[in-house]
Amino acid sequence: MGGQSSSSAPIHDTPILGFKTRPRVQSAQEWGNATNFWVEYPSGLVDLTRTTHLPASSTEPDLKSGQLDLPVDGDRTVRLDPSKTAYVIVDMQNFFLHPDLRAHPTGLACVDPLLTSVPALRSKGITPLWVNWGLTDAELNTLPPSLIRGFARPERAGGFGGVMPGDWGRLLMRGEKNSELYGPLQKLYEEGEKEGKDKWVHKNRMSGIWGGQSALDLVLKEMGVTTLLVAGVNADQCVLGTLIDAYYLGYDVIVVSDATATTSPEGGYENVIYNAGGSYGFVTDSKRIVEAASKA
């Protein structure tokens, strides 16, 4: 009647979004456009390097010197060009992690995965970008009320820019102790920065890449980066804001699951990981990163 399908499923239903593992393509497929594209193969390889358009033979290209094949969830492997890839690590700062300031056991559990995955990716030419809150006095006057209210507490004075007890300094302002990376991560960054490999990028919103011209987007454009490995805290807040804005801007997004955490109730972290693998991009972990780097 009226041209309706005899199928019981709605005509625009997209059941693939409900699959835990996305089915492999039956034949090689090219996604995107002439300059910004992926090529996916029946073997499970997804080539993110943007170096080889789908050939007439539809056969997989050989792994080229300098490229990195990284296993991800869903029985896939993504092929990376390290010169076009960055490791974006969000908000692993004292303010969010130090036990004297808050209890964040799952966030602290991300430290060891970062201590192994950062050097592994560095060794392959992938740049770690430490993306952190770091406000200026001028920026305090531009923050929206929703953001200010979210970081304020009725029982204490201040909020952004407020003076914290002890020697922690002003809350999430540049150069303050509470804004430094937590414990061994600060040392890890300083080692990489001294070698000219790591970069520190300030942010002033939940997302590290919001708006028309964020510091992170400028850095990525200058570097020629198209693919982001993303980790940090909190998964469903600043990490999600950063990865979804990057996704909207056309970057490839790969979440490092064991280097990502949140203080939210059950479901917050799981939702991010589910949608990162099913909609926004891919999911991997530090063990697969280290193993892939050791083989390349």
pLDDT at 15: 57
Quick one: 122 and 54 in the same domain? no
Q: How far apart are CA 242 and CA 80, in angstroms?
A: 20
Quick one: 201 and 254 in the same domain? yes
Quick one: 74 and 88 in the same domain? no
The whole domain housing 274 covers 84-139+175-284
Quick one: 203 and 254 in the same domain? yes
What is the number of structural domains in the chain? 2
Q: Is residue 17 situated within a structural domain?
A: no
Quick one: 68 and 102 in the same domain? no
**Residue 114 φ/ψ region, left for φ over 0, alpha for ψ in the -120 to 50 degree band, beta for the rest:** alpha
**Residue 135 φ/ψ region, left for φ over 0, alpha for ψ in the -120 to 50 degree band, beta for the rest:** beta
Q: What are phi and psi of 122, to 5 degrees?
A: -55, -45
Q: How far apart are CA 71 and CA 224, in angstroms?
A: 23
Are the beta carbons of 237 and 272 closer than 8 angstroms?
no
Q: Is residue 153 situated within a structural domain?
A: no
Quick one: 200 and 220 in the same domain? yes
Quick one: 73 and 206 in the same domain? no
Is omega for the bond preceding 33 within 30 degrees of 0, making it cis? no
**pLDDT tens, residue order, the chain (296 aa):** 444 444 565 665 655 555 667 889 999 999 999 999 999 999 999 999 999 898 766 788 899 999 999 999 999 999 999 999 999 999 999 999 999 999 999 999 999 999 999 999 999 999 999 999 999 999 999 999 999 999 987 766 679 999 999 999 999 999 999 999 999 999 999 999 999 999 999 999 999 999 888 999 999 999 999 999 999 999 999 999 999 999 999 999 999 999 999 999 999 999 999 999 999 999 999 999 999 999 97
Q: What would the two tokens of residue 32 be?
A: 């995107």
Quick one: 32 and 126 in the same domain? no
CATH number, domain containing residue 119: 3.40.50.850
